[in-house]
Chain A
Amino acid sequence: MKTLRRFLTRLLNFDKRSQHEERMREEIEEHLALETEHNLRGGLPETEAHRQAVLKFGAMEAIKETYRAERGLPFIETLLQDLRYTLRMFLRNPGFAAVAILTLALGIGAATTIFP
């Protein structure tokens, strides 16, 4: 039941991606700000206070990735990213695109005819 609920939530989250990105960034900033303040009160100089806060937070990018993986559908998002990239490459190289698509079409057509 939990898995189903999480999957549905991921589905619904799919089109709220930018909002969630915003939320994540705000929460992290807030956390770092509070931790920096705490360090400042403890007597550390300003740059050191911020640095200690960041160190204590952990591996920033890895954590952000984990956060993003929790919400949304990472598989489909990756798929969409790849599709967009492919489209860009094809528009840049229409000749290559034409040849590739033609070859695939001939290949698939031939295979479907030979093996019904």
Chain B
Amino acid sequence: MKQKTDVLQGTLALMVLKTLDILGPLHGYGIARRIEQISGDLLAVNQGTLYPLLLKLEQEGAIASEWGASENNRRARFYRLTRAGRGQLQAETLGWNQTAAIIERFFAVKAEDLS
């Protein structure tokens, strides 16, 4: 049985921004499904927690929303990345890569290197 880990708000925001960046405008349900897909079901997201996060991102100006028609012609709210959001995404991607690089260096260190 695979263990599902809970996602922190910050990383979830990053995933939302990246998903919108790759796939273009999506509605809330679409974002939830894509995140599930991309993370390969290893991450359990209480899907509902996405909506407060989307509201928060919209109020910060990272994403914008408008009404549109989803599949089977239901009215849904579509979210898209703004320019500010794209900038935020790039900055956070940089931050993550740096963190990963530092950790990697620590993992690569052997006892002899430090004596």
Contact = CB atoms under 8 A, between A and B. Distances in A.
Pick from B46, B47, B51 the residue with the most CB of A within 10 Å: B51
Given A2-B60, A6-B60, A71-B59, A31 B52 contact: no
A46 to B, nearest CB: 17
A9 B58 CA distance: 10
Interface residue SS majority, chain A: helix
Interface in A51-80: 56-60, 63, 66-67, 69-71
Given A30-B29, A30-B76, A31-B28, A63 B59 contact: no
Interface of A: 2, 5-6, 9-10, 23-24, 26-28, 30-31, 33-35, 56-60, 63, 66-67, 69-71
Nearest to A54: B48
A5 B46 contact: no
A50 B95 CA distance: 40
Nearest to A12: B59
Nearest to B77: A27
Contacts of A26: 75, 77
A9 B59 CA distance: 7
B80 to A, nearest CB: 16
B46 A63 contact: yes
B55 to A, nearest CB: 5
Interface string B70-100: 1000111100000000000000000000000
